[in-house]
Each structure stands twice: as structure tokens, then as C-alpha cells.
């Protein structure tokens, strides 16, 4: 068992010291072990810590629980990812309250080049479902991840549609990896492990309590380049995620809906207050994000404006592969008499069809 990892997880078990204060401690002392080895006076001088919290650090003695957590993750082949690890989601590091440790079960790059969070109501309409399915189906698959919260409704639709279209998808949990909530999504979560996975900051044994969901939502918002809100009332988890995405300076999109539809009131409000871009389909979204597939412009064929003689066409055909050839090679391969050949070469030069190069070489002009 790595000693540094023990201290890293111990940081998350410190009472009254959350992500923000832990980040300040790490910035001051450089590592988790250095924090626990520091003197109480040194800890107290860190902004936001003070004497009382410094004492909590020095009095920490729950290392048996830390070892159990490490053994649980090791037994199940779950990844324990600390803020300084290469696989830690780099986008989250730009968030002031980024989780200190993440636990991951799955197979994908948490730093893929394109990550979209899709959130919305648990009681979606057919319209919301159709929009999500069409949007994901029209996305490029390469280096793309769809993130959501594994909840009923829009979350589950996003995960299922991503799997159907062979796009990696991650469910961010509001509890430990030792359970699935809701239980009805157990089979869905298993499918996600092969091409995506489950991510959480919560240890084994942590239940999906109400206060954990806003914490979960900050990961959903912070890990993504853009968050898309599909149907929500003016209050609820989706609006919390939207506010967090805005706070983190992420792109935010909302699906507009009927003004009398409660399920669209939150989205309409986000658009009205200029917090979110109006979502108008995949093409518009990809253009806004600069994610359109690069178009390969076919090479234009040269348009011949002169009518060549059969002798001129013969010589031009010998140069079709765009390789420069000597005048002697062209003459021999053409089979023309010297006078006819010389006349044809001169005519092609005057028409800017061929270019004379040093060493009596010629090539066809594109």
C-alpha cells in the first residue's frame, strides 16, 4: 500500500475541511503526506484553517478506515485518482472546489478532447427524448464522452443513446461505488463499464443522501466543455448543474419549450437571462463549439480552355502523373517526328499547359 495514497484519502476524511481548504493546504505544503507531517502552527497559518482545523488534522487517527477503503478499491480494480495524477480530469482542476480524490470504475480517458454533459428532468416528454436521441446520433464519435448522473429520465436516455451510438458515457454518482442508485439502472451501469464508466468522489458506504447530489452536479458541470439542459423546472438538480456550469465558465445550452410547459420553464428562463445559448440542434451546437469535422476539399481539376491537337494531348498524357520528365524522354515515348514534337511542345508552353524547368525538364501545370 502506497503511503502517499493513504494520506491522500485521509485528507477526504478530515472533518470540517472540504475541497477548497484542502486545495489551500496542498498548495502550501505540496503533498498530502507533507500536510499530516506539518506542525500545528504551520497548518494554522494557512488561509481558512486556523487553530481548530489545524488540530483536527493533527488529531486524525482513522487510518484503519483509510486502509479498508484502499483495499476495497484494489479488490474491485477501481481506480483511485488524486488531483495530481495524470488521469485526473484536467477540466475539474480549473474549478475552485474540485474533488480531492475520485473513484472510477470503467475504461475511458477522463481527459477526452470533447466532453458534453446532458442533464434534465426525471419526467421527460417524448419531445425531450427525441431531441436527446437525435442530438447524440449526429455527434462525431472520436474522442467524445457524454456525461450525466445516471438518474431517471433525461440522464438515462443520454447514457443509453450514447451506448447505442458507440459513444463513451460516464455516470457521475452521488454515493460510493459499492451500490447503484436507482437500483433499476444496475444493468445500464454494467453496460457503461465497457465503454465509459462510473465516477464518484464518495467512498464505499456513502449513501445517496439528498445533500450529495449538488456535490455530484459540480463534477457533471466541471468535467465538461459544455452542458446541455433538456427540460427542467425553474428549481431542481438540472438548474443547479446549469448554474455551476456558468460559474465554471463552461458553455451552457438549453432546449427551448412552450411557455405554458412547466418542464420547459427552467430552460426558457436560462435562455431569457442570457445564461444559456438556445439549443438548435447538433449542427448549430458543433459550429458554436468549433467541433465540426474537417472538410477535405477535393483537388480541382484543371480546366483546359484550348483545344489540343492529338500530338499535344499525347505529350500532355505523358505528364499526367505530375512527374517532371526530360525532353529526351518525352520525345522517345511520344514516337513523333522531331519537327512535329518540337511544334507540339512549343504550343503547349504557349498555352501554359506545361512548364519548362531547368535541365530541359517539363511538367504539367495544375
Residue 303: which pLDDT band, with cuts at 50, 70 and 90?
Answer: very low
Q: Are residues 68 and 95 in the same domain?
A: no
Averaged pLDDT of the chain:
91
Domain boundary among 240, 257, 289: 289
d(CA 268, CA 1): 51
C-alpha to C-alpha distance for 235 and 243, rounded to whole angstroms = 11
Domain limit, last residue, from 40, 75, 110: 75
Let me know whether 258 and 208 are in one domain.
Answer: yes
pLDDT tens-digit series, residues 209-259? 999 999 999 999 999 999 999 999 999 999 999 999 999 999 999 999 999
Considering the domain boundaries, does residue 332 fall inside one?
yes
pLDDT for residue 187:
96
In the predicted structure, residue 300 carries a pLDDT above the cut 90: no
> Between 353 and 61, where is the model more confident?
61
pLDDT exceeds 90 at position 320: no
- Contact between residue 216 and residue 173 where contact means Cβ atoms under 8 Å apart: yes
DSSP secondary structure code for residue 23 in this structure: H
- Sorting pLDDT into bands at 50, 70 and 90, what band is 82? very high
Do 106 and 56 belong to one domain?
A: no
Residues 70 and 201 in one domain: no
Q: Domain with 8 in it: what CATH number? A: 1.10.150.20
Comparison of pLDDT for 359 and 156, the residue scoring more: 156
- Domain that includes residue 358, residue range: 310-364
In the prediction, which pLDDT does 294 show?
63
Same domain flag for 41 and 108: no
Band the pLDDT of 298: cuts 50, 70, 90: low
- Residue 351 domain-assigned (yes or no): yes
Query: Do 141 and 40 belong to one domain?
Result: no
Q: Is 21 a domain residue?
A: yes
pLDDT at 339: 80
Q: Does residue 277 share a domain with residue 138?
A: yes
Sole residue written with cell 488524486:
82
Same domain, 54 and 176: no
Q: Is the preceding peptide bond at 172 cis, omega within 30 degrees of 0?
A: no
How many whole angstroms separate alpha carbon 148 and alpha carbon 87? 19
Residues 230 and 112 in one domain: yes
Amino acid at each position: 500500500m502506497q503511503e502517499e495514497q493513504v494520506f491522500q484519502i485521509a485528507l477526504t476524511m478530515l472533518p470540517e475541511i472540504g475541497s477548497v481548504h484542502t486545495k489551500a493546504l496542498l498548495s502550501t505544503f505540496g503533498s498530502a503526506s507533507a500536510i499530516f507531517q506539518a506542525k500545528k502552527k504551520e497548518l494554522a497559518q494557512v488561509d481558512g484553517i486556523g487553530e481548530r482545523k489545524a488540530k483536527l488534522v493533527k488529531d486524525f487517527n482513522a487510518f484503519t478506515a483509510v486502509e479498508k477503503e484502499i483495499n476495497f478499491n484494489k479488490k474491485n480494480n477501481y481506480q483511485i485518482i488524486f488531483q495530481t495524477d495524470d488521469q485526473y480530469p484536467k477540466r475539474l482542476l480549473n474549478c475552485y472546489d474540485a474533488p480531492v480524490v475520485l473513484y472510477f470504475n470503467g475504461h475511458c480517458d477522463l481527459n477526452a478532447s470533447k466532453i458534453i454533459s446532458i442533464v434534465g428532468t426525471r419526467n421527460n416528454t417524448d419531445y425531450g427524448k427525441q431531441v436527446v436521441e437525435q442530438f447524440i446520433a449526429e455527434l462525431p464519435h472520436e474522442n467524445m464522452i457524454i456525461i450525466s448522473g445516471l438518474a431517471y429520465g433525461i440522464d438515462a436516455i443520454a447514457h443509453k443513446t450514447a451506448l447505442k451510438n458507440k459513444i463513451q458515457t460516464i455516470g457521475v454518482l452521488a454515493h460510493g461505488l459499492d451500490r447503484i442508485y436507482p437500483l433499476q439502472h444496475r444493468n445500464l451501469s454494467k453496460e457503461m463499464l465497457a465503454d465509459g464508466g462510473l465516477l464518484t468522489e464518495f467512498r464505499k458506504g456513502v449513501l445517496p443522501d439528498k445533500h450529495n447530489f449538488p456535490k455530484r452536479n459540480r463534477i457533471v458541470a466541471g468535467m465538461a466543455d459544455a452542458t446541455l439542459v433538456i427540460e427542467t423546472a425553474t428549481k431542481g438538480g438540472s438548474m443547479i448543474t446549469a448554474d455551476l456550469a456558468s460559474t465554471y465558465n463552461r458553455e451552457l445550452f438549453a432546449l427551448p419549450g412552450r411557455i405554458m410547459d412547466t418542464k420547459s420553464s427552467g430552460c426558457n428562463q436560462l435562455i431569457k437571462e442570457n445564461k444559456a445559448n438556445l439549443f438548435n440542434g447538433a449542427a448549430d451546437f458543433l459550429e458554436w463549439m468549433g467541433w465540426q469535422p474537417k472538410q477535405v476539399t477535393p483537388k480541382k481539376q484543371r480546366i483546359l480552355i484550348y483545344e489540343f491537337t492529338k500530338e499535344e494531348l499525347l505529350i500532355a498524357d505523358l505528364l499526367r502523373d505530375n512527374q517532371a520528365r526530360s525532353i529526351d524522354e518525352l520525345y522517345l515515348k511520344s514516337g513523333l517526328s522531331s519537327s512535329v514534337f518540337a511544334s507540339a511542345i512549343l504550343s503547349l508552353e504557349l498555352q501554359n499547359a506545361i512548364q519548362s524547368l531547368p535541365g530541359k525538364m517539363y511538367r504539367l501545370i495544375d
